Amino acid sequence: MPTAKVLEVIDGKSLMIAPKWEQGKMEGFILVLDGVSTPARDEKGGIEAKEAHTKICKGKNISFTGDNIDPHRRLVAEIEIKGVSVNETMRELGYKP
pLDDT digits (tens, 9 = 90+) for 40-90: 989 999 999 999 999 999 999 999 999 999 999 899 999 999 999 999 999
CATH code matching the domain that covers 3-92, chosen among 3.30.470.20, 3.30.420.10, 2.40.50.90, 3.40.50.720: 2.40.50.90
Residues contacting residue 56 through CB under 8 Å, at least 6 positions apart: 81, 86, 89, 90
Q: Tell me, what's the pLDDT at 25?
A: 65
Instruction: Give the start-to-end residue ranges of the domains of the chain.
Output: 3-92
Are the beta carbons of 71 and 36 closer than 8 angstroms? no
Burial class (CB within 10 angstroms; exposed 0-12, middle 13-18, buried 19+) of 10: middle
pTM of the model: 0.90
